[in-house]
Structure 1
Amino acid sequence: MDLNSLSLLVEILEAGNLSEAARRLKMTRANVSYHLNQFERTLGLQLVRRTTRRVEPTEAGLRLVEHGRAIRRALEAAQETVETLGQTPQGRVRLSVPSGYGQIVMADWLLEFKRLHPGIVLDVMFENRVEDLLRDEVDIAVRVMSEPPQNLVARDMGAVRYVACASKAYASEHGLPTELDELRTTPLITATVVGRQLRVAAYLREDRHEVLLEPTLISENFLFLRQAVLAGLGVGIVPDYVVHDDIRRGEVVTTLDAWRLSIFGTHMYLLYMPDRHQTRAAAAFIEFVLDQARKAGRTR
């Protein structure tokens, strides 16, 4: 198989259309289209579906581009190994972290890592979507899940503990729910996923219960949810790290503490592709973050 043609396919699918691929490759659009057609003819397979605006991989194209990216990453890793012998880690790490956990817990870790490794470029996205790491060209993602995807390497960063909580003033005026079913009629502040019915899973020793929730204030921004809890607008169901300092100061109180609550998942995982040859930069980042999670008492 012609590696140049395979590389061309990777560039086309990453660019999203032939015109952008041509611009990146400094070729004409017609030339890119010709070489793609020749590659498909040689293989006897359709590799992409063309629309007026985009190209999308067929099943065969998707499988091939996975191999093409793996080969490219292996070459990049080999080149980096040769170029950086005896040097401090260099390169770029593209990272995707949850908005709340990333800002509240990981921000200090990321800044410290950058101080320790000034030669590494950190490209950080704060988002909650669970997307295909291959398509998005994300090196490392951190996500809340109950079970990580089987096609990814998953490093456990520890349990995620949700708490039912409210401001001290709200609790004094309105009281707090003491039974799970009371959550159905309590003004709730929490996050949700668009298009998904929101439920909280509650565990008490071996027992598991589910309660359907109808929040009155919803956001993916956990810093905003924290503000809403402090403002006394209702009972929050949020990860413990969101209000940890507020609880310690006595500004926020919790309820239903005997229950282990979960909405989006029970553990935080660090995820990356199994066939992705880790650069020294990515390997250094993974080791650093897992060490920080251990120090914080989040990993088991």
Structure 2
Amino acid sequence: MDVNALTLLVEILDAGNLSEAARRLKMSRANVSYHLNHLEKSIGLQLVRRTTRRVEPTEIGLKLYEHGRAIQNAILAARESVTTLGQTLQGRVRLSVPSGYGQLVMSDWLIEFKRLYPGIVLDVMFENRVEDLMRDEVDIAVRVMSEPPQNLVARDMGLVKYVACASKEWGETHGMPQRLEDLGTAPVITAAVVGRQLRLAGYLGDARHEVLLEPTIISENFLFLRQAVLAGLGVGILPDYVVHDDLRRGDVVTSLDPWRLSIFGTHMYMLYMPNRHHTRAASTFIEFVLAEAGKAGRGAGA
């Protein structure tokens, strides 16, 4: 069987559709379709199911994909071994990180990594969307969620603790929420998923409770949300790292501390595609960030 045909199948399934595969391969869509049809005819079996938006592998298509991926990884590893022989670590790592966690926690790690490995290009996107994490050929994504997607490798970076917080002045004037249901009528400042009702889950011991929130300020920009809390505009439902320094100084106070609060999830995960060859640059980056998360007390087992 033609190795090039197998790697073409890998590219098509990784891309998700023929048009995207053609863009990545710098070929016409018709050419990609022709080679796929030729491969299917030579085997005598359908390898992918086509819909209007995506292509999905059949059972035999998935098996051939796995073989093709293994071959592609071996070729990439051999090529990298030759090109990096005797050189300092080089390459490119493209990652997607949450806006708040990326700016407030990970930015120092990324800068330190760059100092240690100046030959590695870091291509960093700050965003919070969960759907289709591996679009645009992202190597690594970091996200807050309760359960990671089954189709991705997930490395646990530790628990995420949300706090109900407000400026000291706001708390003294209005009184901090004393019951979880008080948040349902409070002027809440938080992030939210567009188009969905915002439900806050609260865990106290083994019991789980839920309250529907009606935020007064919603944003994906956690630095802006922190400013809104400090300005005394309401009660923030924010990860603790967003207001860590403000709490230490006493500018911000919290309530409902015995509760474990969750909006998007309770864990931070590093996510990447299985069976995809990791360059030495990407592998080094993964282990560096996991070590930093562990030292910060957020890594798995911390």
Unaligned residue ranges in structure 2 (runs of 5+): none
1:57 aligns with 2:55: yes
Say which SS state the counterpart of residue 87 (structure 1) adopts: coil
Say which SS state the counterpart of residue 253 (structure 1) adopts: strand
Partner of 2:116: 116
1:100 aligns with 2:87: no
RMSD, aligned α-carbons: 2.7
How far did 1:195 drift? 3.1
Partner of 1:262: 262
Q: Once the two structures are superposed, what CA deviation does each residue of 1:78-123 show, in whole Å capped at 9, x if it has no partner? A: 2212332343322111211111111111011111111111111112
Name the TM-score, length of structure 1 as normaliser. 0.87
- Compared with structure 1, are the counterparts of its residues 17 and 265 closer, same or farther at alpha carbon in structure 2 (3 Å cutoff)? same
Distance between the aligned counterparts of 1:74 and 1:132, measured in 2? 26
Unaligned residue ranges in structure 1 (runs of 5+): none
Say which SS state the counterpart of residue 58 (structure 1) adopts: strand
How many correspondences in the alignment?
Answer: 296
Partner of 2:167: 167
Q: What are the residue-to-residue correspondences of 1:49-198 with 2, within 5 Å?
A: 49=50, 56-60=54-58, 63=62, 68-198=68-198
Partner of 1:213: 213
Partner of 2:290: 290
Distance between the aligned counterparts of 2:24 and 2:132, measured in 1? 25
How far did 1:226 drift? 0.9
CA contact (8 A) 1:178 1:256 kept: yes
The range that moved more, 208-217 or 125-134, is 125-134
- Compared with structure 1, are the counterparts of its residues 29 and 97 closer, same or farther at alpha carbon in structure 2 (3 Å cutoff)? closer
Distance between the aligned counterparts of 1:23 and 1:59, measured in 2? 19
CA contact (8 A) 2:91 2:119 kept: yes
Distance between the aligned counterparts of 1:160 and 1:185, measured in 2? 25
How far did 1:48 drift? 6.1
- Compared with structure 1, are the counterparts of its residues 31 and 182 closer, same or farther at alpha carbon in structure 2 (3 Å cutoff)? closer
The range that moved more, 145-154 or 5-14, is 5-14
How far did 1:238 drift? 0.4
Q: Once the two structures are superposed, what CA deviation does each residue of 1:131-181 show, in whole Å capped at 9, x if it has no partner? A: 345554222111112222333322221110000001122112212111111
% of aligned pairs identical? 71
Distance between the aligned counterparts of 2:8 and 2:226, measured in 1? 47
Name the TM-score, length of structure 2 as normaliser. 0.87
CA contact (8 A) 1:160 1:266 kept: yes
CA contact (8 A) 1:15 1:21 kept: no
Partner of 2:252: 252
How far did 1:205 drift? 2.5
Q: Once the two structures are superposed, what CA deviation does each residue of 1:202-251 show, in whole Å capped at 9, x if it has no partner? A: 22233322222121211111111111111111100000001111111221
Partner of 1:45: 46
Say which SS state the counterpart of residue 194 (structure 2) adopts: coil
How far did 1:31 drift? 4.3
- Compared with structure 1, are the counterparts of its residues 34 and 277 closer, same or farther at alpha carbon in structure 2 (3 Å cutoff)? closer
Partner of 1:7: 7
Counterpart of 2:192, as a letter, is: T
Counterpart of 2:48, as a letter, is: L
CA contact (8 A) 2:47 2:57 kept: no
